[in-house]
């Protein structure tokens, strides 16, 4: 039986082929929280609110739940297409965006094994 990994509360460094997945807004104003960490440490690009950038992947969590659901589905497809990468998924959309954690976690229920999720997700 293998031990399941979970995304830690804080990520300050990544190993080779690892990607930090964070909640963003459509404008890519990465000013606080995980988005700011993504800019400061993992190559997120201010003004880019979606997708892979540097060693990070932005998911728009601020444009309403339907938009978040679309972004999550696109991310899951991207992760499935890139099994050579490990994605550390943060609690996207559950902080300042204010989405219900159970609803957000359900969006990632079918994520492939290369997506490491927060505890309880």
In a domain, 6, yes or no: no
Mean pLDDT across the chain:
95
Task: Let me know if residue 13 belongs to a domain.
Answer: no
Contact (CB, 8 A) for 20 and 116:
no
**Cα–Cα distances in Å, from 86 out to 45, 64, 121?**
20, 27, 16
Domain coverage including residue 67: 18-116
Q: pTM of the entire structure?
A: 0.93
Q: Which residues does the chain have with pLDDT short of 50?
A: 1-2
pLDDT for the residue 14? 97
| Eight-class DSSP state of 100 | -
Number of domains in the chain: 1
Instruction: Report yes or no on 78 lying in a domain.
Output: yes
| In a domain? residue 8 | no
């Amino acid at each position: 039986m293998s031990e399941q990994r979970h995304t830690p509360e804080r990520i300050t460094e990544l190993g080779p082929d690892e990607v930090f997945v964070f909640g963003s807004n459509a404008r890519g104003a990465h000013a606080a929280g995980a988005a700011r960490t993504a800019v400061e440490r993992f190559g997120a690009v201010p003004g880019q609110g979606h997708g892979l950038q540097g060693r990070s992947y932005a998911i728009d969590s601020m444009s309403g739940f339907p938009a978040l659901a679309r972004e999550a589905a696109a991310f899951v497809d991207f992760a499935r297409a890139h099994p050579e990468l490990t994605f550390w998924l943060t609690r996207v959309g559950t902080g300042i965006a204010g989405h219900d954690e159970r609803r957000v976690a359900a969006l990632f229920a079918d994520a492939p094994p290369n997506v490491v999720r927060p505890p309880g997700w």
